[in-house]
């Protein structure tokens, strides 16, 4: 068995996306891929697990706990750490938490601690407190007595101290582009947050073009930063997925990938991440990895549509030269390529085919109405009838 990379660094897979929830068997496949690729951590934080976020106060049932214990044992045998996340930020009662007496903890805090302790007892190596993707309404809910950043930091500190372990923390402001939402959040957080708590951060943007310069967070927090990388994520653009080389992230030691939740696609992504972190021949290695996962060579003809996301807070539209050969390549992939991976990619390839037909003005009104949503088909047909689309 290969030894995984330095345990002082955190590298691996985040199950942290919306829209998909892996099975326990698929999670084990991810663990095996992490071990093969000399990564060391699995971060369990799926938005679609209702007990992780929406109903975080509810306990996991015995069947789930049995599966989780089996999963953590399997992970341990493969030398992979498991971070178990809890995301109470939607409705955690910070008013009661901030007003607690020295000898009495708030009821929400007690529930949070008990659930964290249970996850550790069931085999998790660490706990992560997630306070991301929540409304900007802290002052309206809890007043101005203690700031949001201070409250979040105090909660993380207390949880870490009560558990007797250094935890991970995902702040509400988790990318530079979000700082304007609450300019004082990170500064207030820095005044109280225990320096031993590791902080997840996305970089300049929620989906960052490069992760070699994320100085804003480093200037504020002295904590170790683990990069939460959404390079391959597609829960915010569910008509697309990205499968190009892993670029703009070379020689980073503390970085975890939050990808798609499509198991076969994510196994490719982990191979791409491992290869391109230590290899300069991006395209050559990219093709080699895709071929090893059974992706036909003809996919290379349409790779530009799946290569990389559009970066930044105000991206410009891409211009690609579409032609009929792209549709022919898609037809081959739709009808003559058969595998578990092809079935994952089927809806995305079909969507692309229709979009190309629209662009080339060869999608009939009848087909448009049958295949597209009512608002889109109505909009396009109206524009066509007015001569505003060609």
Enter the DSSP assignment of 2. P
Q: What is the mean pLDDT of residues 326-349?
A: 98
What is the C-alpha to C-alpha distance for residues 282 and 293, in angstroms, rounded to an integer?
Answer: 17
What is the C-alpha to C-alpha distance for residues 375 and 368, in angstroms, rounded to an integer?
Answer: 11
Which pLDDT value is given to residue 280?
A: 58
**Cβ–Cβ contacts within 10 Å for residue 29, how many?**
16
Handedness of CA 244, 249, 251, 254 (dihedral sign): negative
The average confidence (pLDDT) of the chain is: 92
| Whether 162 contacts 113, CB under 8 Å | yes
Residue 70: phi and psi, rounded to 5, are -65, -40
Q: What is the mean pLDDT of residues 23-31?
A: 98
Residue positions counted in the chain: 390
| Whether 71 contacts 22, CB under 8 Å | no
Q: Which of 226, 276, 224 is nearest to 249 (CA)?
A: 276
Q: Which of 81, 26, 28, 33 is nearest to 268 (CA)?
A: 33
Q: What is the mean pLDDT of residues 271-295?
A: 85
Q: What is the mean pLDDT of residues 269-277?
A: 88
Q: What is the mean pLDDT of residues 247-251?
A: 82
pLDDT for 87-145, tens place per residue?
999 999 999 998 875 556 789 999 999 999 999 999 999 999 999 999 999 999 998 88
Domain ranges of the chain: 11-290
Which pairs with CB-CB distance under 8 Å and at least 24 residues apart come from 280-288? 282/245, 282/247, 283/245, 285/245, 286/244, 286/245
- Integer-rounded Cα Rg, in Å, for the chain is 23
- Rounded to two decimals, what is the model's pTM? 0.94
Which pLDDT value is given to residue 320?
A: 80
Spatial CB neighbours of 279, under 8 Å, sequence gap ≥ 6: 285
Instruction: List the single range of 49-63, 205-219, 334-348 with lowest mean pLDDT.
Output: 205-219
| Whether 154 contacts 197, CB under 8 Å | no
Exposed e or buried b for every residue in 296-327, given b needs 16+ CB within 10 A?
bebbebbbebbebbeeeeeeeeeeeebeeebb
Which pLDDT value is given to residue 214?
A: 65
Which pLDDT value is given to residue 384?
A: 81
Q: Which of 148, 153, 159 is nearest to 85 (CA)?
A: 159
Q: What's 11-290's CATH class?
A: alpha beta
Q: What is the 3-state secondary structure (H, E, C) of 176-233?
A: HHHHHHCCCHHHHHHHHCCCCCEEEECCCCCCCCCCCCCHHHHHHCCCCEEEEECCCC
Spatial CB neighbours of 161, under 8 Å, sequence gap ≥ 6: 194
């Amino acid at each position: 068995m290969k030894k995984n990379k330095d345990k002082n660094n955190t590298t691996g897979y985040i199950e942290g996306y919306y829209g998909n929830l892996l099975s326990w068997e698929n999670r084990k496949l991810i663990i095996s891929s992490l071990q093969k690729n000399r990564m060391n951590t699995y971060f369990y934080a799926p938005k679609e697990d209702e007990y992780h976020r929406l109903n975080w106060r509810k306990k996991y049932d015995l069947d789930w706990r049995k599966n989780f214990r089996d999963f953590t044992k399997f992970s341990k045998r493969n030398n992979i750490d498991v971070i178990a996340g809890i995301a109470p930020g939607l409705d955690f009662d910070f008013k009661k938490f901030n007003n607690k007496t020295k000898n009495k903890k708030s009821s929400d805090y007690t529930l949070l601690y008990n659930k964290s302790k249970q996850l550790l007892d069931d085999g998790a190596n660490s706990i992560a407190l997630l306070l991301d993707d929540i409304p900007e309404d802290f002052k309206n809910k809890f007043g101005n007595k203690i700031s949001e950043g201070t409250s979040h930091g105090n909660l993380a500190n207390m949880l870490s101290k009560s558990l007797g372990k250094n935890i991970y923390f995902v702040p509400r402001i988790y990318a530079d582009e979000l700082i304007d939402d609450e300019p004082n959040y990170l500064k207030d957080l820095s005044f109280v947050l225990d320096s031993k708590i590791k902080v997840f951060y996305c970089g300049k943007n929620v989906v960052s073009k490069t992760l070699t310069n994320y100085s804003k967070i480093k200037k504020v927090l002295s904590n170790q930063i683990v990069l939460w990388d959404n390079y391959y994520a597609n829960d915010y653009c569910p008509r697309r997925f990205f499968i190009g080389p892993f670029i703009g992230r070379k020689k980073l030691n503390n970085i975890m990938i939050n990808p798609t939740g499509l198991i076969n696609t994510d196994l490719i992504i982990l191979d791409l991440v491992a290869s391109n972190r230590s290899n300069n021949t991006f395209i050559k290695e990219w093709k080699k990895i895709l071929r090893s996962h059974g992706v036909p060579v003809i996919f290379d003809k349409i790779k530009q549509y799946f290569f990389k996301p559009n970066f930044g807070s105000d991206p410009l539209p891409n211009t690609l030269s579409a032609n009929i050969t792209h549709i022919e390549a898609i037809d081959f992939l739709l009808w003559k390529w058969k595998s578990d991976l092809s079935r994952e990619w089927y809806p995305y390839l079909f969507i692309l085919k229709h979009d190309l037909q629209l662009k080339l003005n060869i999608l009939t009104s009848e087909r448009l109405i049958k295949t597209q949503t009512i608002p889109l088909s109505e909009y396009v047909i109206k524009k066509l009838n007015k001569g505003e689309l060609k």
